[in-house]
Structure 1
Amino acid sequence: MKSLLTICIACSIAIIACNKNKDTADKTENTSANMVLQWNNAGMEAMRRTGSLPPMLESRITATLNVTIHDVLNNIIPKYETYALNNAVVSGANADAAVAQAAHDVLLYLLPPQKTFADSLLDVSLNSIAAGTDKDQGIALGKSAATVMITMRTNDGSTTAQYPYTQGTLPGQYRSTPPFDAGPNAGFVLLPGWGKVKLFGLASAAQFRVGAPYLTSSAAYAADYNEIKKMGCTSCPDRSADQTQIGMFWLENVPASLNRIAAAFIKQNNLSAWKAARLLALLHMAEADANISCFDAKFFYNFWRPVTAVRAGDTDSNTVTIGDPAWNLLAAPTPPVPDYPSNHATDGGAGMTIIKNFFGKDDISFSTTSASLPGITRSFTSLTQATREISLSRIYVGYHFRMAVDSGEAMGRKIGQYIFDHSLREK
């Protein structure tokens, strides 16, 4: 039988351990997400200052930045799995100093021309923190986290993804769209090698690759052809005012749209720094991998865009698709990449699946704005409703056939679910 002294010692150790765990939990739950949001926003602002970037480049930047922020926090208190920096726990480091330094250094790597902007924000961030050993440790840890991430993403294939691409000639095969079908930029196709860029969470870019698109001679193709011909043109009488608004509202890059929504949810739910960083890191990992996976599929199938298809409708081997050489789309020009699947819909499906899993429900009511249609607010009663609008918007602006958006959204949902299930999990 254990002595009373042994029992008392065991109880004391248990109480100390319990208090220590409680202190750790309190620190992760009570640390404000303000610095996380500030540097997340800095990434979006730095891209805006750089100029218009395609979603592929945008998603790589936002993923690299936000995963680094997540990593540095979880090397102070390891609440969730890390991505690049492991086992460098500095429990006494100041979280805000670590986040600011890590984000700053990664931002300089990603967007060197924004050095003045990033340096200025770092000064403001660090000057708001009292001097001390914890601040110094935070700065050092931030530098370490950034260095490891930069090493991991250097030579990831993003700088070699642009090269000449051979155009198709047969019905259904991609060929350059206006204005890239003539003149000095004739034959230009955007980033045909993006499907080979190093992934953030998936095992393979083809892991969830969708099945082949329909033949241009099929009835299913004819239905989609005739739908976009009357719904995606410049002044389509069959497209309602609301559908036109949907098309233009969601025209901006999906990573930016969903970042705005996620940041609002973080504020509304008063999430801690650790939780906020995890949500943003997962969201942008999913967005980055959705873009890579979608480009893998696009250039595997090489399917033509609606603007090409409608103008060449009399030569597609389908008797119920009447061509219109003068047809033009609502939001010209079409992005110069193949149609199938829709990158926009894939991004929407992936990102919204992350948000749904993170909060554990779909029926979240929210309103949001858009950089591509300033002054307009759209409201939703669920994440699924918003996801569907993102997908359908590409029909209304004339960018994609319905099969491309349906398949892209489905693929995106699988990507988002996989990232959530396998990345940055709670310890």
Structure 2
Amino acid sequence: MNPSPTLHLHRRKLMSLSSQINAPRLLTAVALAALATASQAANTSKTWCADRCDQIVIDWNQQTHQVIKAATGYQDPMAASRILAMVHLAMHDAVNAAQPRYRTYAYQPKVSTSKSGADAAVAAAVAAHDVLASMFPKQQEMLRATLDATLHDAGMGASIAEGKKLGAEAAAAMIARRADDGSQADEAYKPGKRPGEYQFVPGFDFVAAPHWRAVKPFTMRAPEQFRVAPPPALTSTAYVVDFNEVKATGSKAANARRSADQTQYAAYWYEFSDSGWNRIARTVARDKPQDLWQRARTFALLNAVMADAYIAGWDSKMHYNFWRPVTAIQQADTDNNPATTAAAHWEPMLTTPPVQDHPSTHSALGAAAAVALAHAFGGDRVAFTMASPSALPEAPERSFKSFRAAAKENADSRVRAGLHFRFATTAGLQLGEQIGHQAVRDMLAPVGGAQ
């Protein structure tokens, strides 16, 4: 599953601890039997992680980000979103193999395991570990250290052994399900030459992962299921309105028509959406208790819809092949619209990513994530405060009253940063909401009256 040489080139540019406890030899056979019985009884009641078993999901979410960053520098957000979705769906499948409460994605045991006494928390940890280990063999030591910490706390016993088995099987099922999903393909791209067609943006001589438009979705029927409407014609009034807005408000120039607050949130939301919205989920999780099954489902849905937002967004981007504001503004004298004026030296506030404008996938991921989190945490109006690594030093944190409010500001930030036309962010929000609503309605549904 190694990426192609071309993808390696592009990604470069975009840029155990093993604990083994041996029983003392002087213990008698009777004492050993008593210890094993006590250990098994304790693990069956899940006392080893008590009411914080859900923390395992959060820990492995952070571990996944760390492993991706160590291996690739986190330069490819599409690939990262796929990995995150696979890890969390495998964890979800593992805990629901131990005790079914929600439908699974890839793993369905041939024989019912609900009465096996398998430790669901151990199953979740092993599933996450095995998915990541298959993708990042050079990160084995880091991964094994995290897994050993969990297994050391869990102890020994039949339930632990059964949990390991289920976790390994859930991971294997996930890996097999996604083995030929199109993520390792390669596709050539030639920039357009006509007005309105995408041309390489400053600093890049390629388009990021054009093949991603055909990757197998996690929640959608097909990449084009929710393909957005086309951008407005270059000669239309709607185009002029959005052209003038991003030209005035998204400029790098000191006289840009952008408030201090708009400048701050343009920078704040600049980081990759998949990374930012996982941090939002972890932040909210601190104040929103969930058990292991609920937490696993929350992060599985969140990452599945964001992975699909990239896939669906790439489908529409490649389909319409629309130019970015930086190109449109610098070459406005070619668009056959007398109401637009070229500015040959115009620059956006922030660097434009090397992919087409329409729709904004940054906006799509935020909207999809907001739907998934509102579903998981009992409603949209959940207040939170979060820092961002791309924020300006004078404004490292922002506070929000709801997920939807955060998603809207996230989308607006792309106009303020000079990266997207308004119509692209509007389309992105609509796309993300469609993906999110379908997923929470149809995917990983409760079974047997579970909530």
Distance 1:424 1:62 in 2: 16
- Structure 1 position 49 matched with structure 2 position 70: yes
Displacement after TM superposition at 1:309 (Å): 0.5
Query: What does the per-residue CA deviation read over 1:206-227, in whole Å, with 9 as the maximum and x for residues that have no partner?
Result: 1111111111111111111111
Q: Partner letter of residue 146 of structure 1?
A: A
- Structure 1 position 139 matched with structure 2 position 167: no
Task: Give the 3-state SS of the residue equivalent to 1:368 in structure 2.
Answer: strand
Displacement after TM superposition at 1:374 (Å): 6.8
Task: Give the 3-state SS of the residue equivalent to 1:141 in structure 2.
Answer: helix
Q: Which residue of 2 aligns with 1:402?
A: 422
Which residue among 378, 383, 396 is the counterpart of 2:403? 383
Q: Which residue of 2 aligns with 1:7?
A: none
Query: Cα 1:26–1:412, aligned 2, differ >3 Å: closer, same or farther?
Result: farther
Which residue among 351, 361, 369 is the counterpart of 2:379? 361
Q: Which residue of 1 aligns with 2:5?
A: none
Q: Partner letter of residue 178 of structure 1?
A: P
Distance 2:442 2:377 in 1: 17
Q: Which residue of 2 aligns with 1:289?
A: 308
Query: What does the per-residue CA deviation read over 1:205-257, in whole Å, with 9 as the maximum and x for residues that have no partner?
Result: 11111111111111111111111111111135211111011111001111111
1:295-306 to structure 2, matched below 5 A, reads: 295-306=314-325
- Structure 1 position 232 matched with structure 2 position 250: yes
Q: Which residue of 2 aligns with 1:94?
A: 119
RMSD (CA atoms): 2.0
Which residue among 86, 106, 110 is the counterpart of 1:64? 86
1:210-225 to structure 2, matched below 5 A, reads: 210-225=228-243
Deviates more, 1:134-143 or 1:68-77: 134-143
Q: Which residue of 2 aligns with 1:38?
A: 59
Displacement after TM superposition at 1:125 (Å): 1.7
Task: Give the 3-state SS of the residue equivalent to 1:128 in structure 2.
Answer: helix
Which 5+ residue runs of structure 2 have no aligned equivalent?
Answer: 1-43
Query: Cα 1:44–1:86, aligned 2, differ >3 Å: closer, same or farther?
Result: same
Distance 1:293 1:28 in 2: 39
Q: Partner letter of residue 147 of structure 1?
A: A
Distance 1:207 1:36 in 2: 30
Deviating runs (4+, > 6 A) in structure 1?
23-29
Task: Give the 3-state SS of the residue equivalent to 1:379 in structure 2.
Answer: strand
Q: Partner letter of residue 312 of structure 2?
A: S
Q: Which residue of 1 aligns with 2:37?
A: none
Query: What does the per-residue CA deviation read over 1:279-328, in whole Å, with 9 as the maximum and x for residues that have no partner?
Result: 00000110011110000000000000111111101111111111111111
Deviates more, 1:281-290 or 1:350-359: 350-359
- Asked whether the equivalents of residues 330 and 397 of structure 1 are also in contact (C-alpha less than 8 Å), the reply is yes
Task: Give the 3-state SS of the residue equivalent to 2:210 in structure 1.
Answer: coil
Displacement after TM superposition at 1:29 (Å): 10
Q: Partner letter of residue 161 of structure 2?
A: D
Distance 2:390 2:85 in 1: 22
Report how many residues are paired.
397
Q: Which residue of 1 aligns with 2:178?
A: 153
Displacement after TM superposition at 1:329 (Å): 1.1
- Asked whether the equivalents of residues 29 and 272 of structure 1 are also in contact (C-alpha less than 8 Å), the reply is no
Q: Which residue of 2 aligns with 1:18?
A: none
Distance 1:126 1:220 in 2: 59
Distance 1:66 1:260 in 2: 15
Query: What does the per-residue CA deviation read over 1:10-57, in whole Å, with 9 as the maximum and x for residues that have no partner?
Result: xxxxxxxxxxxxx99999995621211111111111122230323211
- Structure 1 position 171 matched with structure 2 position 195: yes
Distance 1:381 1:63 in 2: 27
Distance 2:47 2:434 in 1: 34
Q: Partner letter of residue 36 of structure 1?
A: V
Distance 1:397 1:58 in 2: 24
- Asked whether the equivalents of residues 206 and 296 of structure 1 are also in contact (C-alpha less than 8 Å), the reply is yes
Distance 2:213 2:61 in 1: 25
Which residue among 281, 300, 320 is the counterpart of 2:339? 320
Deviates more, 1:410-419 or 1:128-137: 128-137
Deviates more, 1:390-399 or 1:105-114: 105-114
Query: What does the per-residue CA deviation read over 1:85-143, in whole Å, with 9 as the maximum and x for residues that have no partner?
Result: 11352541112221121111101123333222112211222111111111111111111
Query: Cα 1:46–1:28, aligned 2, differ >3 Å: closer, same or farther?
Result: closer
Q: Which residue of 1 aligns with 2:98?
A: 76
- Asked whether the equivalents of residues 264 and 392 of structure 2 are also in contact (C-alpha less than 8 Å), the reply is no
- Asked whether the equivalents of residues 28 and 77 of structure 1 are also in contact (C-alpha less than 8 Å), the reply is no
Distance 1:345 1:77 in 2: 36
Q: Which residue of 1 aligns with 2:146?
A: 121
Which 5+ residue runs of structure 1 have no aligned equivalent?
Answer: 1-22, 181-185
Q: Which residue of 2 aligns with 1:392?
A: 412
